[in-house]
Structure 1
Amino acid sequence: MSKKLVIKVTAGADAPERCSQAFTVAAVAVASGVEVSLWLTGESSWFALPGRAVKFELPHAAPLPELLASLLAAGRVTLCTQCAARRGIEPGDTLPGVRIAGAQVFVSEIMADGVQALVY
Protein backbone atom coordinates (compact mmCIF):
# COMPACT_ATOMS: atom_id res chain seq x y z
CA MET A 1 0.00 0.00 0.00
CA SER A 2 1.45 3.36 -0.99
CA LYS A 3 1.45 6.29 1.38
CA LYS A 4 -0.40 9.43 0.32
CA LEU A 5 -1.21 12.55 2.28
CA VAL A 6 -3.93 14.97 1.21
CA ILE A 7 -3.81 18.35 2.94
CA LYS A 8 -6.53 20.96 2.61
CA VAL A 9 -5.37 24.39 3.70
CA THR A 10 -8.08 27.00 4.22
CA ALA A 11 -5.96 29.64 5.94
CA GLY A 12 -3.82 32.29 4.32
CA ALA A 13 -2.47 35.57 5.60
CA ASP A 14 -5.58 35.75 7.81
CA ALA A 15 -4.24 32.88 9.98
CA PRO A 16 -0.51 32.73 9.24
CA GLU A 17 0.48 30.05 11.75
CA ARG A 18 -2.16 27.62 10.51
CA CYS A 19 -1.22 28.37 6.92
CA SER A 20 2.49 27.92 7.51
CA GLN A 21 1.91 24.70 9.41
CA ALA A 22 -0.01 23.18 6.51
CA PHE A 23 2.67 24.07 3.96
CA THR A 24 5.45 22.90 6.30
CA VAL A 25 3.83 19.52 6.96
CA ALA A 26 3.21 19.05 3.24
CA ALA A 27 6.80 19.95 2.31
CA VAL A 28 8.29 17.70 5.00
CA ALA A 29 6.11 14.83 3.82
CA VAL A 30 7.25 15.34 0.20
CA ALA A 31 10.88 15.43 1.34
CA SER A 32 10.26 12.17 3.22
CA GLY A 33 9.06 10.41 0.08
CA VAL A 34 5.34 10.62 0.78
CA GLU A 35 3.02 11.34 -2.13
CA VAL A 36 1.39 14.68 -1.27
CA SER A 37 -1.62 16.51 -2.63
CA LEU A 38 -2.06 20.04 -1.24
CA TRP A 39 -5.42 21.72 -1.77
CA LEU A 40 -5.60 25.51 -1.66
CA THR A 41 -9.01 26.69 -0.48
CA GLY A 42 -10.40 29.82 1.13
CA GLU A 43 -7.76 32.47 1.76
CA SER A 44 -4.90 30.14 0.82
CA SER A 45 -6.25 30.25 -2.75
CA TRP A 46 -4.24 33.42 -3.34
CA PHE A 47 -0.99 31.42 -3.11
CA ALA A 48 -1.83 29.79 -6.45
CA LEU A 49 -0.95 33.12 -8.07
CA PRO A 50 2.59 34.21 -8.98
CA GLY A 51 4.18 36.54 -6.43
CA ARG A 52 1.67 35.96 -3.64
CA ALA A 53 3.76 33.54 -1.55
CA VAL A 54 6.67 36.01 -1.35
CA LYS A 55 4.39 38.49 0.42
CA PHE A 56 3.68 35.99 3.21
CA GLU A 57 5.79 36.45 6.34
CA LEU A 58 5.83 34.57 9.62
CA PRO A 59 8.75 34.83 12.06
CA HIS A 60 10.66 31.59 12.68
CA ALA A 61 8.89 29.81 9.80
CA ALA A 62 10.31 28.41 6.59
CA PRO A 63 9.77 30.78 3.66
CA LEU A 64 6.47 30.00 1.97
CA PRO A 65 7.87 30.37 -1.58
CA GLU A 66 10.41 27.62 -0.87
CA LEU A 67 7.79 25.31 0.61
CA LEU A 68 5.45 25.90 -2.31
CA ALA A 69 8.25 25.34 -4.84
CA SER A 70 9.07 21.96 -3.28
CA LEU A 71 5.41 20.96 -3.46
CA LEU A 72 5.09 22.02 -7.08
CA ALA A 73 8.27 20.09 -7.93
CA ALA A 74 7.51 16.83 -6.15
CA GLY A 75 3.85 16.87 -5.12
CA ARG A 76 0.54 18.08 -6.45
CA VAL A 77 -1.03 21.48 -5.77
CA THR A 78 -4.71 22.01 -6.49
CA LEU A 79 -6.77 25.18 -6.31
CA CYS A 80 -10.43 24.72 -5.40
CA THR A 81 -12.73 25.47 -8.36
CA GLN A 82 -15.27 27.48 -6.35
CA CYS A 83 -12.59 29.33 -4.40
CA ALA A 84 -10.89 30.33 -7.65
CA ALA A 85 -14.18 31.51 -9.16
CA ARG A 86 -15.05 33.60 -6.09
CA ARG A 87 -11.69 35.35 -6.38
CA GLY A 88 -11.76 35.78 -10.15
CA ILE A 89 -8.79 33.43 -10.64
CA GLU A 90 -8.68 31.83 -14.07
CA PRO A 91 -6.61 28.74 -15.05
CA GLY A 92 -4.10 30.88 -16.96
CA ASP A 93 -3.51 33.07 -13.89
CA THR A 94 -1.97 30.39 -11.68
CA LEU A 95 1.60 29.29 -11.14
CA PRO A 96 2.76 26.56 -13.53
CA GLY A 97 1.80 23.17 -12.12
CA VAL A 98 -1.25 24.31 -10.15
CA ARG A 99 -4.41 22.60 -11.28
CA ILE A 100 -7.95 23.76 -10.60
CA ALA A 101 -10.37 21.04 -9.51
CA GLY A 102 -13.48 20.64 -7.42
CA ALA A 103 -15.04 18.62 -4.65
CA GLN A 104 -15.48 15.46 -6.72
CA VAL A 105 -11.71 15.21 -7.26
CA PHE A 106 -11.01 16.02 -3.60
CA VAL A 107 -13.39 13.30 -2.40
CA SER A 108 -11.89 10.73 -4.78
CA GLU A 109 -8.40 11.56 -3.46
CA ILE A 110 -9.28 11.28 0.22
CA MET A 111 -11.28 8.07 -0.23
CA ALA A 112 -8.49 6.15 -1.95
CA ASP A 113 -6.74 3.31 -0.11
CA GLY A 114 -3.72 4.34 1.96
CA VAL A 115 -4.65 8.02 2.13
CA GLN A 116 -4.42 10.21 5.19
CA ALA A 117 -6.16 13.58 5.08
CA LEU A 118 -5.52 16.74 7.12
CA VAL A 119 -7.38 20.03 7.13
CA TYR A 120 -5.78 23.26 8.30
Structure 2
Amino acid sequence: MARSLVIKVTAGADAPERCNQAFTVATAALASGVSVSLWLTGEASWFALPERAKEFNLPHAAPLADLLDAVLAGGRVTLCTQCAARRNITVDDLIEGIRIAGAPAFVEEVVGQDVQALVY
Protein backbone atom coordinates (compact mmCIF):
# COMPACT_ATOMS: atom_id res chain seq x y z
CA MET A 1 0.00 0.00 0.00
CA ALA A 2 1.32 3.44 -0.90
CA ARG A 3 1.68 6.15 1.69
CA SER A 4 -0.80 8.98 1.69
CA LEU A 5 -0.11 12.64 2.36
CA VAL A 6 -2.12 14.98 4.57
CA ILE A 7 -1.17 18.63 4.15
CA LYS A 8 -2.43 21.35 6.47
CA VAL A 9 -1.96 24.83 5.06
CA THR A 10 -2.32 27.60 7.64
CA ALA A 11 -1.01 30.47 5.52
CA GLY A 12 -2.78 32.54 2.91
CA ALA A 13 -1.98 35.89 1.38
CA ASP A 14 -0.26 36.76 4.67
CA ALA A 15 2.58 34.30 3.84
CA PRO A 16 2.30 33.72 0.09
CA GLU A 17 5.39 31.57 -0.42
CA ARG A 18 4.47 29.18 2.38
CA CYS A 19 0.90 29.00 1.10
CA ASN A 20 1.94 28.32 -2.47
CA GLN A 21 4.45 25.70 -1.35
CA ALA A 22 1.69 23.68 0.33
CA PHE A 23 -0.46 23.67 -2.80
CA THR A 24 2.55 22.91 -5.02
CA VAL A 25 3.58 19.94 -2.88
CA ALA A 26 -0.01 18.66 -2.88
CA THR A 27 -0.22 18.74 -6.68
CA ALA A 28 3.25 17.25 -7.11
CA ALA A 29 2.26 14.39 -4.82
CA LEU A 30 -0.95 13.79 -6.78
CA ALA A 31 1.01 13.78 -10.04
CA SER A 32 3.26 11.13 -8.48
CA GLY A 33 0.30 8.92 -7.65
CA VAL A 34 0.16 9.75 -3.93
CA SER A 35 -3.22 10.05 -2.22
CA VAL A 36 -3.57 13.65 -0.95
CA SER A 37 -5.80 15.32 1.61
CA LEU A 38 -5.38 19.11 1.81
CA TRP A 39 -6.67 20.94 4.88
CA LEU A 40 -7.38 24.67 4.66
CA THR A 41 -6.94 26.37 8.02
CA GLY A 42 -6.21 29.87 9.29
CA GLU A 43 -5.86 32.39 6.48
CA ALA A 44 -5.90 29.60 3.88
CA SER A 45 -9.57 29.11 4.79
CA TRP A 46 -10.52 31.88 2.38
CA PHE A 47 -9.44 29.72 -0.57
CA ALA A 48 -12.47 27.49 0.06
CA LEU A 49 -14.61 30.28 -1.39
CA PRO A 50 -15.19 30.69 -5.12
CA GLU A 51 -12.83 33.10 -6.91
CA ARG A 52 -10.59 33.69 -3.85
CA ALA A 53 -7.73 31.55 -5.17
CA LYS A 54 -7.82 33.57 -8.42
CA GLU A 55 -7.01 36.69 -6.40
CA PHE A 56 -3.80 35.14 -5.05
CA ASN A 57 -0.67 36.17 -6.92
CA LEU A 58 2.90 35.03 -6.39
CA PRO A 59 5.50 35.77 -9.07
CA HIS A 60 7.08 32.72 -10.71
CA ALA A 61 4.50 30.38 -9.15
CA ALA A 62 1.72 28.36 -10.71
CA PRO A 63 -1.67 30.05 -10.30
CA LEU A 64 -3.18 28.99 -7.00
CA ALA A 65 -6.60 28.49 -8.60
CA ASP A 66 -5.09 25.91 -10.97
CA LEU A 67 -3.36 24.12 -8.10
CA LEU A 68 -6.58 24.04 -6.07
CA ASP A 69 -8.50 22.70 -9.06
CA ALA A 70 -5.93 19.92 -9.43
CA VAL A 71 -6.23 18.92 -5.79
CA LEU A 72 -10.02 18.96 -6.02
CA ALA A 73 -9.87 16.76 -9.10
CA GLY A 74 -7.51 14.18 -7.66
CA GLY A 75 -7.57 14.46 -3.89
CA ARG A 76 -9.67 15.77 -1.04
CA VAL A 77 -9.93 19.33 0.28
CA THR A 78 -11.24 20.08 3.75
CA LEU A 79 -11.95 23.38 5.48
CA CYS A 80 -11.41 23.44 9.23
CA THR A 81 -14.68 23.73 11.18
CA GLN A 82 -13.45 26.33 13.66
CA CYS A 83 -11.65 28.34 10.97
CA ALA A 84 -14.83 28.44 8.90
CA ALA A 85 -16.91 29.53 11.90
CA ARG A 86 -14.47 32.31 12.82
CA ARG A 87 -14.81 33.65 9.26
CA ASN A 88 -18.58 33.13 9.02
CA ILE A 89 -18.06 30.66 6.17
CA THR A 90 -20.80 28.06 5.79
CA VAL A 91 -21.08 24.94 3.67
CA ASP A 92 -23.31 26.89 1.27
CA ASP A 93 -20.42 29.30 0.58
CA LEU A 94 -17.88 26.67 -0.44
CA ILE A 95 -16.49 25.63 -3.78
CA GLU A 96 -18.16 22.39 -4.81
CA GLY A 97 -16.17 19.41 -3.56
CA ILE A 98 -14.77 21.05 -0.43
CA ARG A 99 -16.04 19.73 2.87
CA ILE A 100 -15.99 21.19 6.39
CA ALA A 101 -14.61 18.96 9.15
CA GLY A 102 -12.90 19.39 12.48
CA ALA A 103 -10.03 18.18 14.58
CA PRO A 104 -11.37 14.63 15.07
CA ALA A 105 -11.40 14.06 11.30
CA PHE A 106 -7.91 15.55 10.97
CA VAL A 107 -6.54 13.34 13.73
CA GLU A 108 -8.18 10.29 12.20
CA GLU A 109 -6.44 11.02 8.89
CA VAL A 110 -2.97 11.76 10.25
CA VAL A 111 -2.70 8.78 12.60
CA GLY A 112 -3.57 6.31 9.87
CA GLN A 113 -1.05 3.70 8.82
CA ASP A 114 1.33 4.83 6.08
CA VAL A 115 0.33 8.49 6.36
CA GLN A 116 2.73 11.42 6.19
CA ALA A 117 1.47 14.76 7.53
CA LEU A 118 2.94 18.14 6.62
CA VAL A 119 1.99 21.54 8.01
CA TYR A 120 2.70 24.77 6.17
- 1:59 and 1:34 map into 2 onto residues whose CA distance is 27
Structure 1 runs not aligned, ≥5 long: none
Tell me which residue corresponds to 2:110: 110
Tell me which residue corresponds to 1:24: 24
- 2:26 and 2:98 map into 1 onto residues whose CA distance is 15
Q: TM-score, normalised by structure 1?
A: 0.99
- 2:36 and 2:3 map into 1 onto residues whose CA distance is 9
- Which runs of at least 4 in structure 1 moved beyond 4 Å after TM superposition? none
The aligned amino acid for 1:61 is A
| Identity across matched positions, percent | 71
- 2:118 and 2:37 map into 1 onto residues whose CA distance is 11
- 2:96 and 2:30 map into 1 onto residues whose CA distance is 18
Q: How does 1:77-92 map to 2 (within 5 A)?
A: 77-92=77-92
- 2:58 and 2:86 map into 1 onto residues whose CA distance is 26
Q: TM-score, normalised by structure 2?
A: 0.99
Tell me which residue corresponds to 1:36: 36
- 2:39 and 2:3 map into 1 onto residues whose CA distance is 17
> What is the alpha-carbon root mean square deviation over aligned residues?
0.5
- 1:112 and 1:68 map into 2 onto residues whose CA distance is 24
- 1:3 and 1:30 map into 2 onto residues whose CA distance is 12
1:3 shift after superposition: 1.6
**SS at structure 1 position matched to 2:92:** helix
What is the number of equivalent residue pairs in this alignment?
120
